[in-house]
Structure 1
């Protein structure tokens, strides 16, 4: 999992705010992954482990088009993580997360515009870039180190946390934080699939825009 970015100029937000930011970001990631999987023929816009597996299989099969598609999405995600980190670290302390989320919202709206204009694949590449940025919304909550796109790690952390609770060496809150992140991701995937089937890609991106706007408002509310 990624290392949590510190913001020494900002007071630590209340636990409820931390939980809200974490779960809402996981919800967005799950929603966009479900949409990307359907629209891109098995590629995700947030889950890069799956894309890396897809890339390796495509190389083995000699499927050049699939290789290029997987590489493009992975590259977009990495570029988003790179650009988001540079922006975060250049911003004034205490305002970093909200600045990142303003950019995130702009990217999702740009993807929405591209999909509406008839360029859905390019729009989803922009979403992959945005998901790289979104991983900066990363918190350690009640001892649970939770990243937005690292659901395998969250499930491992859940099992490990439950083991520690059973041994009397850990807190139930840690297990709940890991389990909550996983549940939020799955809920987002369900919502993304249903919205995509009923309203299409434009509708799904509209919903994602609303959720990212809510993330931004929450970040402002908790002083991040």
Structure 2
């Protein structure tokens, strides 16, 4: 649960969510309304495309769904390697997919492989926070976070904890802000702005290794 992370953990998770929002904002505009992190939207698009006989729309939407799932699988397997750096391993997988996606844009406008690799990265990033093998904090899908925020707001109005809703609100705010920044910069720069997200994710991955290292690493305390 997001509220069990502590404020530093929430800040870190919010940074990852902002990066995911950035990537999704870029993809949504570049690929004409397809998502790389919101698979409910792509599932609806695939059904609509199939009903209308638009096999290209159906194929791209389903390809993104498949890529997202494969990203989750790859990151989950990486997280099972015995190591104190489980979170860093997961984010390394996500970073690798996002860097590969950025590389496909060199000399081209970015095609299906660019989109699928972006979806794989976003699927992988969702394996960052798990508990007993299950995702405990979803970083790219906010419907559940908004439901929990509403529940905690209701509890607060009924006399319960006043601020338990705030972590979920922070995640929603950051993915919204990230997507706004990503969309705005895409309109100014184009698809190469994806490199900015890739570099940011690599930096967040390095932070994960630092945070999870016993003692000190590079002279930085845990």
TM-score of the aligned structures, taking structure 1 as reference length: 0.85
Aligned counterpart, 1:136: 127
Q: How does 1:25-104 map to 2 (within 5 A)?
A: 25-89=16-80, 91-104=81-94
- SS in structure 2 opposite 1:44? coil
Q: List alignment gaps of at least 5 residues for structure 2.
A: 214-222
Aligned counterpart, 2:149: 158
1:17 touches 1:218 (CA, 8 Å); kept in 2?
Answer: no
Report the CA distance shift for 1:62/1:14 in structure 2 as closer, same or farther (over 3 A).
Answer: closer
**Which of the residues 115, 129, 133 maps onto 1:124?**
115
Greater length-normalized contact order (CA 8 Å, ≥ 6 residues apart): 1
Aligned counterpart, 1:9: none
- Displacement, 1:116? 1.4
**Which of the residues 166, 188, 200 maps onto 1:176?**
166
Aligned counterpart, 2:105: 115
Aligned pair count?
A: 207
**Which of the residues 153, 165, 184 maps onto 1:194?**
184
Report the CA distance shift for 1:57/1:14 in structure 2 as closer, same or farther (over 3 A).
Answer: closer
Deviations 1:71-122 (A, max 9, x none): 1110000111111111111x22311111122222222111111011316121
Deviations 1:9-58 (A, max 9, x none): xxxx9724311231011111111111111111111000001111111111
- Report the Cα distance in structure 2 between the residues aligned to 1:85 and 1:49, rounded to whole angstroms: 21
Check if 1:206 corresponds to 2:195: yes
1:35 touches 1:201 (CA, 8 Å); kept in 2?
Answer: yes
- Displacement, 1:179? 0.4
TM-score of the aligned structures, taking structure 2 as reference length: 0.86
2:18 touches 2:175 (CA, 8 Å); kept in 1?
Answer: yes
Deviations 1:159-193 (A, max 9, x none): 11100111123x33321001000000000111110
1:21 touches 1:137 (CA, 8 Å); kept in 2?
Answer: no
Q: List alignment gaps of at least 5 residues for structure 1.
A: 5-12
1:139 touches 1:147 (CA, 8 Å); kept in 2?
Answer: no
1:80 touches 1:133 (CA, 8 Å); kept in 2?
Answer: yes
- Displacement, 1:130? 0.7
Check if 1:147 corresponds to 2:138: yes
